[in-house]
Amino acid sequence: MITFKKMKALHDWSISKKLSGQTIGFVPTMGALHAGHLELVERANKENDIVVCSIFVNPAQFNNQADLEKYPRNLTGDLQQLQDAGCDVTFTPDEQEIYPEKEQKVYDFGHLEKVMEGKYRPGHFNGVALVVDKLFRIVVPHRAYFGEKDFQQLQVIRALVRKEGHDVQIIGCPTVREPDGLALSSRNARLTEASRREAAKIYQALLMARDSWSDKSIDQIKQQVTAYINASPELEAEYFEVVQADTLLPAEQSATHNGSRVVGCIAVYAGDIRLIDNMTLNS
């Protein structure tokens, strides 16, 4: 496995591989890798000649300084896991390499960035877009792999690709879960024992919403989900929204009849750790 820290060296390497006819699959991450990340790497491995994975804790996407400082980091363990998973190239730049000067660029993703994560984490998606845009220019991959766990992020990335004209195929991959249903997340490592146990209720709440889809109104489902979460002393729901998959506009019950996908998206504080998850409700 080759490790690059400098963007020019990686870019030149990528271009030479593309010119020789090899396809590149790219998996951007913030490290503290778990089986969810490795699933993306495996999929990229199957579908491309070369897999590039970046590890960069992107300050621009944190709207909370304490969250950034406490974000788990484990570079040595990450590199070992990537090697074992068959990753060919890692990119582990420092902050100066990615942001040599203060970034001014402001994207407009319209409604996609105004709701849910965009509403509760102002500036978050601008920070995500800044780094992903840069990474795409450096790596110039054929395909890039993102988890559906960050459902709204996936839609913002698709919009970014359209807006900036990147020649890359975006591939959304299913959420990998713990045996009790909790979505794998780097942040899970920071849960207390009690909040880790209770956090499985996030998945239960989403299953409940899916089960209720055909016989309850969306308002009733929202009430049911938030009441269930908030009944736990360890959990507090920040939002639960029922949205149309592509637009993130509020879903209507009638969507069951025209075949479009409806997703329930949730953010929950488990103690002081903020977790997100989602599930398709109408399938």
| Binding region for ligand AMP (CB under 6 A) | 29-30, 36-37, 39-40, 146-147, 149-150, 173, 175-176, 183-186
CB of 50 to ligand AMP, least distance (A): 18
CB of 270 to ligand AMP, least distance (A): 15
Please identify, using beta-carbon distances, which residue of 185 and 282 lies nearer to ligand AMP: 185
Catalytic residue among 11, 34, 37, 111: 37
Report the alpha-carbon distance of residue 27 to residue 39 in Å, rounded.
10
Report the alpha-carbon distance of residue 72 to residue 30 in Å, rounded.
9
CB of 122 to ligand AMP, least distance (A): 18
Please identify, using beta-carbon distances, which residue of 142 and 149 lies nearer to ligand AMP: 149
What is the C-alpha radius of gyration for the chain, rounded to an integer number of angstroms?
A: 19
Q: 25: exposed, middle or buried (C-beta count within 10 Å: 0-12, 13-18, 19+)?
A: buried
Tell me if 268 sits within 8 A of 202, measured CB to CB: yes
Residues β-bridged to residue 52 = 26, 89
Question: By C-alpha distance, which of 174, 176, 237 is closest to 201?
Answer: 237
Active site (annotated) includes residue 124: no
Report the alpha-carbon distance of residue 280 to residue 283 in Å, rounded.
7
Alpha-helix runs per DSSP H in 20-123: 35-47, 65-70, 75-84, 95-98, 117-120
When CB distances to ligand AMP are compared, the closest residue is: 147
Please identify, using beta-carbon distances, which residue of 37 and 222 lies nearer to ligand AMP: 37
CB of 196 to ligand AMP, least distance (A): 15
Catalytic residues, by residue number, are 37
